[in-house]
C-alpha cells in the first residue's frame, strides 16, 4: 500500500517529510493536510458511478451524433431531410437514428435546451445626442447558470468551497505556491469578514460604454442582490449550502473606470477624468458585494503583452529599426523568419515587415521568432539602437515566459520582480539611444497604461492565482464561431436571436460531449517539476558535437555580446 494522507503534524524524526502542506481556512474547521508528491492533487472518483449514457438527454447516441454534425455544419432544412433519408436508406445497423425531419431535430434540440438555463431578452435604453436609443439584449442569467453547475453531478464534486494556502517542501522549508483562484489571497480575505471590509468621437465612445454596462447589469442584477443577503440552495448531493456570489476576477482589455467626482460636479469631474484618461460611466460591478472593479481587474497576457506591449509597441520598433538598415536587411529578416521550423502550435510567417496582425496569439509567435531571426542582423556593429532593442526584447520574452507559468512559487514571483527591474533598465537605456536619433520615428515616450500594468502582476497572482485563470483567450475564441453563425446560419436579420439559438445548442452539445477523454481519471491541477541539473552552454556544445548547427556555439554567442555561461 502507498503512504496514506497524514493530517497530523509531520514526524520530526522522519528523514523525508511530506512534500506538500495545505492549510484550510480557519472557518472551514478542517485540519492541516500533509501529503507526499504522489498523493497531492489526486481526487477520489471511485464514488462516482460511470455514465453509461453520456449522450443524454438525447434518446440514443446516434441521435446525439447526428444533431452535433448538423448543427456544427450549419445544414439547411433540405440538407437535413436529404441526409436523414440517405441514412435510413443505407441503414447498416451500426447506428440508430430516430429523427425523421428537420422539425424533429429542432424539437429534440429545444427539448434538450429546455433542461439548461434559457436565454432571456431584455430591452435597455441609453441617451445619445438628446435621443433615447433602445437595444434588445439576450442574456443567460449568471446566477441561474451557476445553479445549473451545482446540479451537474459531473462537475459539482470538483467544486472548491474553502480558500486554501498551498505549500511545497523543498527539502529545507515549505514554500508557498499559487495555482487556482482559491489558492490566492483574495479568496482567503473574502472568507474572513473582518478583513473583507478592509472608435470614433468621445460622445459615441462613452455611449457604447453606457450601453455595455447597462446591459451587463442585467446579468449581474440577481447576483448583486444575493451577494448581500446570500442564497440557501440544495445542491445535487442534497446538501444545503448558503451561497454568496461575487466577481473575483475581471478579465478585460484595460477596463476604464469612472469617478464619483463626475456626479458631484460635472465640469470639474470631466476635467479630472480627462486628465486621467477615464470616462464618466457607472460601472456595473460596483453593485456586487466584494467585487470592486479595481481589485477584480486583472493583468491579461493576450491584450497587455502579446497584442500590446510586445505585439504593438516592441515589434513595431523592431520593424522600424530593420527598415532603416535597408532592403537587404528586411529581405534577410523575412527569409530567416520564413525558414523558422514549423512547430505544432506555433504560427508560421512568410512576411513580417509590411504586414500587421491584430491577433494577439500571432503577435506572440511573431515577436518570439523575429527576436532570433534578428540576432545576426541587429548586431552591435550594425545598429547600436537595434542591438539595445534586442536586449530589451530578450528581457521581455523572459518575463512573458515567467508570467505565463501554470504554477507559481515565492521563488518564481521573485524572479518576475527581478526581471522587471532588468527590463526597466534595458528600456531606459534604449530610450537614451532613441533620444539621440532625430531621423528615426522610434518611440521615446513609454508612459502608457500597458507599460505599467505588468508591474502589478505578482500581486494579481498572489491574490487570484496564476494568470491562466483570467485570460481573455476563451472569450476571444468565441469571435470565430459568432462570425460563422452570422455568415452561415443567419439571414442577416434579427441576428441576436438566431445567435442565441445556436449558443444554446452549443451549450447542449458541450454538456453532452462524449469525446475520447470522458473516461479519463483526473490527475490533479498542479504540476511541479523535480530539481533540474544545471547545464552550461559549453556542456550543450559538447553534447552536440556531431551536429553542425552547434559548431562554435559559444564563440558565436560571445561575438554577439551575449554571455556564454
DSSP-assigned letter for residue 307:
I
Give the separation between CA 222 and CA 117, rounded to whole angstroms.
14
Residue 528 lies in a domain: no
pLDDT score, position 417: 94
Asked if 315 contacts 363 with a C-beta cutoff of 8 angstroms, the reply is: yes
Give the separation between CA 204 and CA 211, rounded to whole angstroms.
10
Give the separation between CA 39 and CA 42, rounded to whole angstroms.
6
- Cell numbers 539595445: residue: 388
- Cell numbers 513609454: residue: 446
Give the separation between CA 185 and CA 22, rounded to whole angstroms.
14
Asked whether residue 271 falls in the same domain as residue 305, the answer is no
Q: Which residues lie closer than 8 Å to 436 by C-beta, 6 or more apart?
A: none
pLDDT score, position 384: 92
Give the separation between CA 127 and CA 130, rounded to whole angstroms.
6
pTM of the model: 0.64
Residue 67 lies in a domain: no
Tally the domains of the chain.
3
Integer CA distances (angstroms), 422 to 301, 302, 503, 522, in order: 19, 22, 46, 40
pLDDT score, position 425: 94
Alpha-carbon Rg for the chain, nearest whole angstrom, is: 28
Query: Closest by alpha carbon to 424, among 460, 387, 454, 462?
Result: 454
Asked if 66 contacts 97 with a C-beta cutoff of 8 angstroms, the reply is: yes
| Terminal C-alpha separation, the chain | 46
Last residue of a domain, one of 297, 313, 331: 297
The total of other beta-carbon atoms located within 10 Å of residue 411's CB is: 11
pLDDT score, position 252: 62
Asked whether residue 282 falls in the same domain as residue 324, the answer is no
pLDDT score, position 255: 42
Residue 253 lies in a domain: yes
Give the separation between CA 124 and CA 137, rounded to whole angstroms.
7
Residue 39 lies in a domain: no
Asked if 150 contacts 171 with a C-beta cutoff of 8 angstroms, the reply is: no
Asked whether residue 375 falls in the same domain as residue 392, the answer is yes
Angle at 200 between CA 452 and CA 135, to 5 degrees: 105
Give the separation between CA 305 and CA 311, rounded to whole angstroms.
7
Give the separation between CA 286 and CA 294, rounded to whole angstroms.
10
Give the separation between CA 77 and CA 59, rounded to whole angstroms.
21
Q: Which residues lie closer than 8 Å to 69 by C-beta, 6 or more apart?
A: none
Asked whether residue 206 falls in the same domain as residue 275, the answer is yes
Asked whether residue 321 falls in the same domain as residue 448, the answer is yes
Asked whether residue 324 falls in the same domain as residue 372, the answer is yes
Give the separation between CA 78 and CA 75, rounded to whole angstroms.
8
Give the separation between CA 393 and CA 363, rounded to whole angstroms.
13
Integer CA distances (angstroms), 400 to 169, 406, 533, in order: 27, 12, 23
Query: Closest by alpha carbon to 400, among 318, 465, 306, 317?
Result: 306
Asked whether residue 254 falls in the same domain as residue 129, the answer is yes
Where helices occur in 339-478 by DSSP H, the ranges are 360-373, 384-403, 410-436, 449-453, 457-464, 473-476
C-alpha cell read off for 352:
513580417
Asked whether residue 243 falls in the same domain as residue 378, the answer is no
Last residue of a domain, one of 237, 263, 297: 297
140: left (phi over 0), alpha (psi -120 to 50) or beta: beta
Give the separation between CA 241 and CA 264, rounded to whole angstroms.
42
Give the separation between CA 33 and CA 6, rounded to whole angstroms.
6
pLDDT score, position 199: 47
Residue 210 lies in a domain: yes
Please state the φ and ψ torsions of residue 343, each to the nearest 5 degrees. Answer: -85, 150
Asked whether residue 372 falls in the same domain as residue 252, the answer is no
Query: Closest by alpha carbon to 210, among 122, 271, 124, 273?
Result: 124
Asked whether residue 324 falls in the same domain as residue 423, the answer is yes
Last residue of a domain, one of 297, 316, 334: 297
* CA 380 centroid distance within chain: 38
Asked whether residue 368 falls in the same domain as residue 391, the answer is yes
Residue 526 lies in a domain: no
Mean pLDDT by 10 residues, the chain (565 residues): 48 73 90 88 70 84 88 84 83 74 83 73 74 76 82 83 89 89 87 51 56 66 78 84 80 50 47 57 66 72 79 86 90 89 82 75 86 92 92 93 91 94 93 81 78 82 87 66 66 61 54 42 46 67 78 71 48
Work out the widest C-alpha separation in the chain, in whole angstroms: 79
Asked whether residue 248 falls in the same domain as residue 311, the answer is no
254: left (phi over 0), alpha (psi -120 to 50) or beta: left
Integer CA distances (angstroms), 106 to 272, 441, 501, 514, in order: 55, 58, 10, 21
C-alpha cell read off for 292:
470592486
pLDDT score, position 2: 39
* Helices 61-73 and 495-511: angle between axes, nearest 10 degrees: 140
Give the separation between CA 18 and CA 400, rounded to whole angstroms.
32
Residue ranges with strand state E in 51-113: none
Residue 328 lies in a domain: yes
The total of other beta-carbon atoms located within 10 Å of residue 147's CB is: 16
Residue 81 lies in a domain: no
Asked if 355 contacts 324 with a C-beta cutoff of 8 angstroms, the reply is: no
**Residue 241's beta-bridge partner residues?**
233
pLDDT score, position 312: 81
> Domain limits at 386?
301-470
* Helices 410-436 and 457-464: angle between axes, nearest 10 degrees: 160
pLDDT score, position 515: 41
DSSP string, 122-184: EEEEEEETTEEEEEEEEE--HHHHHHHHHH-TTTGGG---S-EEEEEE-SSSEEEEE-SGGGS
Amino acid at each position: 500500500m502507498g503512504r496514506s494522507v497524514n493530517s497530523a503534524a509531520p514526524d520530526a524524526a522522519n528523514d523525508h517529510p511530506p512534500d506538500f502542506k495545505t492549510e484550510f481556512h480557519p472557518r472551514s474547521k478542517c485540519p492541516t493536510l500533509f501529503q507526499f508528491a504522489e498523493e497531492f492533487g489526486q481526487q477520489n472518483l471511485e464514488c462516482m458511478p460511470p455514465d453509461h449514457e453520456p449522450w443524454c438527454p438525447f434518446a440514443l447516441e446516434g441521435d446525439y451524433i447526428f444533431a452535433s454534425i448538423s448543427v456544427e455544419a450549419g445544414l439547411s432544412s433540405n440538407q437535413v431531410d436529404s441526409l436523414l433519408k440517405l441514412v435510413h436508406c443505407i441503414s447498416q445497423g451500426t447506428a440508430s437514428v430516430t429523427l425523421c425531419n428537420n422539425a424533429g431535430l429542432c424539437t429534440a434540440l429545444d427539448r434538450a435546451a429546455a433542461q439548461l438555463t434559457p436565454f432571456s431578452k431584455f430591452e435597455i435604453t441609453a441617451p445619445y445626442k438628446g435621443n433615447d436609443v433602445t437595444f434588445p439584449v439576450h442574456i443567460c442569467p449568471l446566477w441561474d447558470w451557476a445553479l445549473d453547475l451545482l446540479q451537474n453531478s459531473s462537475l459539482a464534486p470538483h467544486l472548491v468551497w474553502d480558500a486554501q494556502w498551498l505549500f511545497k517542501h523543498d527539502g529545507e522549508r515549505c514554500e508557498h505556491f499559487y495555482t487556482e483562484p482559491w489558492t490566492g489571497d483574495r479568496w482567503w480575505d473574502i472568507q474572513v469578514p473582518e478583513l473583507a471590509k478592509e472608435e470614433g468621437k468621445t460622445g459615441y465612445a462613452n455611449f457604447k460604454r453606457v450601453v455595455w454596462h447597462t446591459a451587463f447589469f442585467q446579468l449581474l442584477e440577481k447576483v448583486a442582490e444575493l451577494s448581500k443577503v446570500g442564497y440557501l440552495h440544495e445542491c445535487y448531493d442534497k446538501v444545503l449550502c448558503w451561497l454568496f456570489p461575487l466577481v473575483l476576477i475581471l478579465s478585460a482589455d484595460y477596463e476604464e473606470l469612472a469617478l464619483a467626482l463626475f456626479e458631484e460636479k460635472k465640469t470639474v469631474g470631466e476635467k479630472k477624468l480627462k486628465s486621467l484618461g477615464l470616462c464618466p460611466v457607472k460601472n456595473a460591478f460596483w453593485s456586487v458585494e466584494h467585487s470592486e472593479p479595481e481589485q477584480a481587474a486583472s493583468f491579461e497576457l493576450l491584450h497587455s503583452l502579446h497584442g500590446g506591449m510586445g505585439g504593438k509597441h516592441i515589434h513595431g520598433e523592431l520593424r522600424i529599426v530593420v527598415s532603416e538598415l535597408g532592403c537587404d536587411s528586411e529581405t534577410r529578416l523575412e527569409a530567416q523568419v520564413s525558414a523558422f521550423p514549423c512547430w505544432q502550435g506555433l504560427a508560421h510567417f512568410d512576411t513580417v515587415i509590411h504586414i500587421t496582425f491584430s491577433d494577439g496569439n500571432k503577435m506572440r509567435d511573431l515577436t518570439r521568432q523575429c527576436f532570433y531571426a534578428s540576432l545576426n542582423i541587429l548586431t552591435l556593429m550594425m545598429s547600436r539602437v537595434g542591438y539595445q532593442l534586442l536586449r530589451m526584447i530578450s528581457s521581455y520574452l523572459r518575463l512573458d515566459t515567467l508570467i505565463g507559468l501554470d504554477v507559481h512559487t515565492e521563488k518564481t514571483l521573485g524572479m518576475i520582480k527581478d526581471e522587471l527591474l532588468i527590463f526597466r533598465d534595458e528600456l531606459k537605456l534604449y530610450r537614451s539611444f532613441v533620444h539621440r536619433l532625430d531621423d528615426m520615428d522610434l518611440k521615446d515616450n513609454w508612459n502608457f497604461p500597458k507599460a505599467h500594468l505588468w508591474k502589478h502582476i505578482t500581486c494579481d497572482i498572489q491574490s487570484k492565482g496564476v494568470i491562466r485563470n483570467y485570460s481573455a483567450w476563451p472569450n476571444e475564441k468565441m469571435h470565430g464561431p459568432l462570425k460563422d453563425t452570422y455568415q452561415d446560419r443567419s439571414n442577416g436579420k434579427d441576428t441576436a436571436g438566431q445567435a442565441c439559438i445556436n449558443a444554446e445548442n452549443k451549450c447542449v452539445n458541450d454538456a453532452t460531449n462524449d469525446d475520447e477523454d470522458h473516461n479519463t481519471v483526473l490527475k490533479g491541477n498542479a504540476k511541479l517539476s523535480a530539481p533540474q541539473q544545471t547545464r552550461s552552454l559549453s556542456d550543450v556544445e559538447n553534447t552536440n558535437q556531431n551536429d553542425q548547427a552547434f559548431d562554435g556555439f559559444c564563440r558565436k554567442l560571445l561575438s554577439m555580446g551575449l554571455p556564454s555561461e
